[in-house]
Amino acid sequence: MGLPVRKTEKRFSYADYQRWPDEERWELIDGVAYCMSPAPTSAHQALAGEFYWRIAAFLHGKPCRAFMAPFDVRLAEADATDEQIVNVVQPDIVVYCDTGKIDQRGGTAAPEWIIEVLSPSTAARDQREKLALYERFGVEDYWLVHPGDRLLTIYRRNESGRYGRGQVFDEEATVAAPNFPELNFSLMEIFSVLPESL
């Protein structure tokens, strides 16, 4: 039997999270613990890997750094203690251009860019709770990859700090990375790693 989707109705902190077994993967959103099981599918991992290696290769030698899950991102007010941190997420890919926001345990604040590849078990949370969370903590760009539909939705913060309506791109599109217009992604090439039957 798999792990429950939520641990309990109790609220947890990052201090609690650190005491849980290493073989279990959880995220905290406003103190609610969500299970990250089951493990991602091969299609999910292929897409995440395709984005990651392209980004990491491009950023090599540049001040920004890319990380791939599992990588804890703690979202909290500055100087919050482990007991006060109630948001810890593990996005598929994160990009930090301020390396002062990285420590030995992961990210200490919002990255500039997050990519999530949707899975049936986490899609609703990625599109609702995490969308609101990333907007609230100032993630500049949030990309949602839809494997089944072969679509990419991009949320970008505007001058008022809001995402607004996401821009949807199909596999005919080529999209540029935030802050790096020379890093382009042909979605046809990206989605080519998926089996035809998906």
Q: Is 42 exposed, middle or buried (0-12, 13-18, 19+ CB in 10 A)?
A: exposed
Other beta carbons within 10 Å of 61? 5
pLDDT reported for residue 4? 43
Q: What is the dihedral of CA 145, 175, 186, 184, to 10 degrees?
A: -120
User: Is residue 66 a contact partner of residue 53, using CB atoms and an 8 Å limit?
Assistant: no
Q: For residue 21, report the phi and psi dihedrals to the nearest 5 degrees.
A: -60, 140
Tell me the pLDDT band of 136, cut-offs 50, 70 and 90.
very high
Residues 175, 184: Cα–Cα separation, whole Å: 6
Average pLDDT, the chain: 91
Contact of 49 with 38, CB cutoff 8 Å = no
**Model's pTM, two decimal places?**
0.92
* Nearest CA among 96, 114, 123, 106 for reference residue 157: 114
Per cent of the chain over pLDDT 90 is 78
pLDDT tens digits for range 79-128: 899 999 999 999 999 999 998 999 999 999 999 999 999 988 788 889 99
State CA 65 to chain mean position distance: 14
Domains with residue ranges and CATH for the chain: 40-76+86-191 (3.90.1570.10)
3 pLDDT exceeds 60? no
CB 17 within 8 A of CB 8: no
